[in-house]
Structures are given as structure tokens and as C-alpha cells.
């Protein structure tokens, strides 16, 4: 067999496998959207769920998912970027650094149910935070922090050495070089890590069952004081997210239209993740072009 023939066969196999993966993904998305789009309405998106009656919505659960996303990313992104900068630029090779990398790798492979049980024992019970948004955000931070650290470290290491050395040769400090030269170049990679972490937050259910809870109180959207118990912005209240609600409705839903509610909620979750990813990528391109143009 000639090298050209082998190359054509290998290319065909790769294209075929890629096509199968794309078809499977499109089929899955199409099935979920086909079953759920017909049940989505403004009332469905804004009204609270019903326990035994028909016609409930997902308003509190949708808000809880978005609020939990913001709260978790506020904690995860600074910690992940800071740890990634330290591991890439400041940590010296040795046993301690190797041990830290090993811990990061082990944490990244932990099942989410283990993180949830740890959150229940330590965050919920030991620190007395109870079933709350803050407990869920801290558990998801443990879950997503290794990803952010690795992505940031890889992004900084992908910056050409010549650009880093040129900045240092001009007398610019190391931190200034990291902040003004390396981070803007690594921004698309770091943002990709943030998108992956955000996607895991939207779809996570197991860890939140034991930390954020499986119920959501009636929220008073006219009261935005985070110190009030019924305020939507209170981080210490229980918060059932959309993914947890889908699991709960499918497993123990008593409403006559539980199947339709689960299908509609699944479609909303998929659409939200897609819109967030598209928006984040557009923002990443804009920020990268802006940093590039300013240099």
C-alpha cells in the first residue's frame, strides 16, 4: 500500500468518526429541543413550580442556576487564575510543586458525588452554612478549581518565550510582564477554561443535592436586599437549581405534567448553555482583539 493511499484511508476514517460524533451530538440536541420547545412559554420561565397541580414553571430554579453560576465564578476565576500564574511563573521545580500538581490532578478526577458529600460534611455541617447557594458555590469551586488552574497554566506556558524575554529585557517587571504581555495572549485559552467550568456549573446536580439543597423558598423579586431571607440575592438560602429540578421532577414528580416540565426544563438548560458559550466566545474574541490593538 502506497503512502498516499494510506493517507487517504486514514483521513477518511478520521472524517467518518468526526461525522459520527457530530451526528450523535446533533441528534441528542435535536431530540431534547424537539421534546421541550413546545412547552416553553413566558409563564413557564417565570412562574414557580407546582408540587401536585398542573401548570408549574421553573422561574426560581432558572434564577438560582444563573445566580449560582455568577457566585461560583466570582470565587473560582480569581483563585484559579492566581494559582495558575503561581504554578506557571513562580513555583520552582521540586517535590512540593510536583505534589501540588498531583493534588490538582487527583481533584480534577474526583466524582461529583464525592465533592457533594465532602461539602455536606464540611461546608454544610462543620461550617454551619446549611443548604445554601454559598455552600453550593464553594463545593463547585472545589470541583472546578483544578480545571481553571491547569488551563491558566497551559495558557501562560503557550505564550512565545521571545515575547516574555523581550518584555523583561526592556526592564519591565515580572508581574507587569505577566499582566500586560502574557495574560492578554493567553486570554482565549483562559476564557475557554472558564466556559468549560461554567458549563459544568449549569449541568451539575449530584454535588448540589448535598450542598445547595433540593428546595427553593418563595422568592420576593421586589426585595433585592441580600440580608433578607426571602431575597433572591441572599446567598444563605436554599436554592434548587435547574439541573436538580430536572432530576427531582423525573424521579419523584407528582404533577400530572411532570414529563412535560422535565422536557421543557431540559430544553431551557440546553439553550442557556449554548447562548452562554456563544456569548463568552464572542466576548473572548473582543477582549483579545482589544488587547492586541492596544499593544
Q: Shortest CA distance to 191 belongs to which of 280, 84, 291? A: 280
Residue 6 included in any domain: no
DSSP state letter for 93: S
CB 268 within 8 Å of CB 242:
yes
Residue 117 included in any domain: yes
pLDDT at 129 over 60: yes
Residue 2 included in any domain: no
Domain that holds residue 23: 12-294
Tens of pLDDT, residues 191-233: 877 877 787 788 888 889 899 988 888 887 787 888 787 788 8
CATH code where residue 27 lies: 1.10.3720.10
- In this prediction the pTM is 0.84
Q: How many domains, in total, are found in the chain?
A: 1
CB 116 within 8 Å of CB 210:
yes
- Which sign, positive or negative, has the C-alpha torsion 179, 92, 140, 278? positive
Residue 172 included in any domain: yes
CB 257 within 8 Å of CB 54:
yes
Q: How far is CA 135 from CA 42, 60, 167, 219, in A?
A: 30, 18, 42, 19
Q: How many CB atoms lie within 10 A of CB 290?
A: 12
C-alpha radius of gyration, the chain, whole number: 23
At 16, is the pLDDT very low, low, confident or very high (cuts 50, 70, 90)? very high
Residue 138 included in any domain: yes
pLDDT of res. 288:
66
Give the integer Cα–Cα distance in Å for 287 and 294: 11
For the chain, percent helix, then strand, then coil, each to nearest 5? 75, 0, 25
At 284, is the pLDDT very low, low, confident or very high (cuts 50, 70, 90)? low
Give the integer Cα–Cα distance in Å for 179 and 174: 9
Tens of pLDDT, residues 156-174: 888 888 888 888 888 888 8
Helix (DSSP H) and strand (DSSP E) numbers for the chain: 12, 0
Tens of pLDDT, residues 77-96: 899 888 888 888 887 877 77
Of 169-178, 234-243, 260-269, the one with minimum mean pLDDT is 169-178
Q: What is the mean predicted confidence (pLDDT) over 255-283?
A: 84
Residue 111 included in any domain: yes
Residue 7 included in any domain: no
Residue 1 included in any domain: no
Amino acid at each position: 500500500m502506497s503512502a498516499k493511499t494510506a493517507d487517504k484511508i486514514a483521513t477518511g476514517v478520521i472524517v467518518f468518526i468526526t461525522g459520527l460524533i457530530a451526528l450523535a451530538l446533533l441528534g441528542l440536541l435535536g431530540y431534547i429541543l424537539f421534546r421541550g420547545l413546545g412547552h416553553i412559554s413566558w409563564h413557564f420561565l417565570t412562574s414557580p413550580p407546582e408540587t401536585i397541580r398542573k401548570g408549574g414553571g421553573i422561574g426560581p430554579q432558572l434564577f438560582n442556576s444563573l445566580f449560582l453560576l455568577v457566585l461560583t465564578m466570582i470565587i473560582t476565576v480569581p483563585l484559579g487564575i492566581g494559582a495558575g500564574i503561581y504554578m506557571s511563573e513562580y513555583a520552582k521545580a521540586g517535590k512540593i510543586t510536583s505534589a501540588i500538581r498531583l493534588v490538582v490532578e487527583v481533584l480534577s478526577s474526583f466524582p461529583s458525588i464525592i465533592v457533594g458529600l465532602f461539602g455536606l460534611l464540611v461546608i454544610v455541617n462543620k461550617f454551619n452554612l446549611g443548604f445554601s447557594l454559598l455552600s453550593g458555590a464553594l463545593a463547585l469551586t472545589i470541583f472546578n478549581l483544578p480545571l481553571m488552574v491547569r488551563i491558566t497554566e497551559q495558557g501562560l506556558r503557550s505564550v512565545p518565550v521571545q515575547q516574555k524575554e523581550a518584555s523583561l529585557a526592556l526592564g519591565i517587571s515580572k508581574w507587569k510582564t505577566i499582566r500586560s504581555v502574557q495574560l492578554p495572549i493567553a486570554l482565549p485559552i483562559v476564557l475557554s477554561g472558564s466556559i468549560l467550568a461554567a458549563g459544568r456549573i449549569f449541568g451539575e446536580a449530584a454535588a448540589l443535592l448535598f450542598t445547595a439543597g433540593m428546595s427553593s423558598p418563595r422568592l420576593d423579586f421586589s426585595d433585592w436586599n441580600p440580608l433578607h431571607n426571602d431575597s433572591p440575592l441572599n446567598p444563605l438560602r436554599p436554592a434548587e437549581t435547574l439541573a436538580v429540578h430536572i432530576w427531582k421532577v423525573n424521579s419523584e414528580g407528582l404533577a400530572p405534567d411532570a414529563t412535560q416540565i422535565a422536557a421543557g426544563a431540559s430544553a431551557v438548560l440546553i439553550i442557556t448553555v449554548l447562548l452562554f458559550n456563544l456569548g463568552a466566545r464572542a466576548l473572548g474574541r473582543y477582549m483579545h482583539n482589544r488587547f492586541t490593538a492596544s499593544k
